[in-house]
Chain A
């Protein structure tokens, strides 16, 4: 056990810090209400990162990455969160490509797909979205019903997907379809690359409770996709998808975990200046008490992140333990944003101006215990796959 970063790691940290300070974009990211502008902004920034060698730090060199350790990736995220740069992690339109589709193609794709797609994902030329959930297939993803019927050398897609972030600005979609309706539900699914410009696709943005519309419903009406776009084999899509979901519960959220620590620092500063009943908030015992607990918890989140980096640096795929960190993160992020709301008091009722971001964060955090596996699903994964408890009937 040791907490010390190597001399080379520290030099790397210096290099990252300096580069971010020298190269951060001068303009703010456009509001999420203008998704096309967000895409433009995020992809320009992604290209800048990529050209400087900061995209795909832990991706293998063969796929255009740097082939560096997970520890270096962690250092990048830590410095990124501390720098005044555009939001990272899931907030970028590049997230699905970088965190889901890219790793899945690496794990299950053939050379042709890797060579075509991976460089575009890294340099921001192609934006990906995810077509997994359906109105009738949320936590029970394997019961999905969007059909993919074989017609010659094509799959013909009919059905509907939902919660597809950035669908209306994406170029490609990682799409799960029911290709064999007669097989057991996990065995009849295919993972296929869907070109979002294909005829027959209709997209309807959905406004979330924070008022933003980055996720959408996607409808498919006889959308034809060449069979050559199937990844991981026909009817083998569940296994292909699971490699992606494991990533989602593993390293993909390190950036968010690190940024949460940053949020708490800002709230502590706010608690020292904002007044409640004529006194600064932190002078109130209950506020001080809650802040101290939140600080303890966010420090633990960092320690847990370090623990999972330690655990994962020598294995290709994160284990079920990553659900523990995900669940802890989700519950904590909600307590933190609730604390922010309580500091604002009546000012939290105003959704514009100085505190708009705090209110948006509060509203958005409701998704944290639902997206990427609802907290109840995470608990069942922990119970069955980490603790070894029996499955229910």
Chain B
């Protein structure tokens, strides 16, 4: 038993963290006019070259054959920089296709020829699509069932103004049959773990942002982080991070090991990750004060993305799963 990353896993994580910090830092949203522009092909290709979309898929399909540990470490890093959920959706869909022996589909997602975006069912066959413009597929969760739809089959698209302006949102209906459909619990739980990892990344990003601002910003003649009122807000953020991340790792490994209480563990991870992300994002704005309330700083984006990912997580797993005996 050892919940810390191995030396090799830490190495992979730091390469990924550097890549994301250089290519898609949160700050990018300050510099582009259209926040929700899809990732250009060259950028997508860089993710492909890092092996992002095939981390846990078999090497015979162009994947890396790695495990849950690498997947959640990567996904947490993506969460920190608010990487488009289409990256998470594509990686998950590739793994799903491989698991269900749809090899050519898996390969085309792993090698970057095709993308998958997240689709959130609102009611009936009505869905909200996020960052779906350049995606060939949509991955949707509905009552324990996971479905992969062709994006081309979506009708009556309506572009909406999103609460999270860093994502494009389209309302549509999906009536054509799914390309791939599964009600295997393991598939659903796998998606839940990835969403937890992304939310944990947001929670940690909020804490780092708050600590960095509190160390620089001065009031009453000293950095505000020297005041206990601010310091203790930050400490509580660190506690939430440790709880959410430890539980995410524990739950992810339970799933990988086919541990019988994986469902409960992941439901717990979901609760901890969603709470940590929102509470930390909220505290981060508080630490920033007035500027945290503006769009000129990144703090608000963490709040907004948290709501998007939490809605997906709610569709995948619920707190009630904790009380199942």
Contact = CB atoms under 8 A, between A and B. Distances in A.
Interface of A: 1-5, 9, 71, 282, 288-289, 291-293, 295-297, 299-304, 306-307, 309-311, 313, 321, 324-325, 327-328, 376, 378-380, 382-384, 386-393
Contacts of B227: 392
Contacts of A5: 1
Interface of B: 1-6, 9, 68-69, 207, 211, 214-215, 222-223, 225-228, 230-232, 234-236, 238-239, 242-247, 249-251, 253-254, 257, 259, 264-265, 267-268, 271-272, 319-320, 322-323
B253 A304 contact: no
Contacts, number: 158
B319 A300 contact: no
A389 B215 CA distance: 6
Contacts of A303: 3, 243, 246-247, 249-251
A299 B228 contact: no
5 contacts: A296-B268, A328-B239, A378-B235, A387-B207, A392-B222
Given A310-B3, A390-B222, A292 B323 contact: yes
B226 A391 contact: yes
A321 B242 contact: yes
Given A1-B4, A296-B267, A297-B272, A387 B234 contact: yes
Contacts of B319: 289, 292-293, 296
A3 B211 contact: no
A310 B4 contact: yes
B3 A3 contact: yes
Given A282-B323, A392-B227, A3 B222 contact: no
A31 B192 CA distance: 47
B1 A2 contact: yes
Given A379-B235, A380-B232, A380-B235, A392 B246 contact: no
A309 B247 CA distance: 14
Contacts of A387: 207, 211, 234-235, 238
Given A9-B1, A292-B319, 4 more contacts: A2-B253, A303-B251, A380-B231, A389-B211
A309 B246 CA distance: 12
Given A292-B271, A292-B319, A3 B254 contact: yes
Contacts of A393: 222, 226
Contacts of B228: 376, 379-380, 383, 392
B276 to A, nearest CB: 10
Contacts of A313: 2
Nearest to B261: A299
A1 B242 contact: no
Contacts of A328: 239, 242-243
Nearest to B220: A393
A379 to B, nearest CB: 4
Contacts of A321: 242
A106 B195 CA distance: 45
B242 A390 contact: no
Contacts of B231: 379-380, 383-384, 389, 392
Contacts of B267: 292, 296
A180 to B, nearest CB: 30
A380 B253 CA distance: 33
A328 B268 CA distance: 15
Given A307-B3, A392-B226, A382 B271 contact: no
B242 A296 contact: no
B215 A388 contact: yes
Contacts of A288: 320, 323
B245 to A, nearest CB: 8
Given A297-B243, A299-B264, A376-B228, A389 B323 contact: no
Nearest to A288: B323
A5 B320 CA distance: 29
Contacts of B247: 296, 299-300, 303-304
3 A-B pairs with the lowest CB-CB distances in the bound complex, closest first: A383-B231, A303-B250, A296-B268
B235 A325 contact: no
Contacts of B214: 389
A288 B320 CA distance: 8
Contacts of A392: 222, 226-228, 231
A181 to B, nearest CB: 29
Contacts of A325: 242
A390 B246 contact: no
Contact of A382 (B5, B68, B235, B253): B235
B94 to A, nearest CB: 22
A196 B270 CA distance: 52
Contacts of B265: 299
Contacts of B243: 297, 300-301, 303-304, 328
Given A1-B4, A303-B247, A390 B69 contact: no
A71 B264 CA distance: 24
B320 to A, nearest CB: 7
B150 to A, nearest CB: 36
A71 B1 contact: yes
Contacts of A379: 228, 231-232, 235-236
Contacts of A282: 323
Given A1-B6, A292-B319, A303-B246, A389 B268 contact: no
Given A2-B253, A296-B267, A311-B4, A383 B234 contact: yes
A180 B36 CA distance: 66
Given A293-B271, A299-B264, A389 B242 contact: no
Given A2-B1, A303-B3, A380-B231, A324 B238 contact: yes
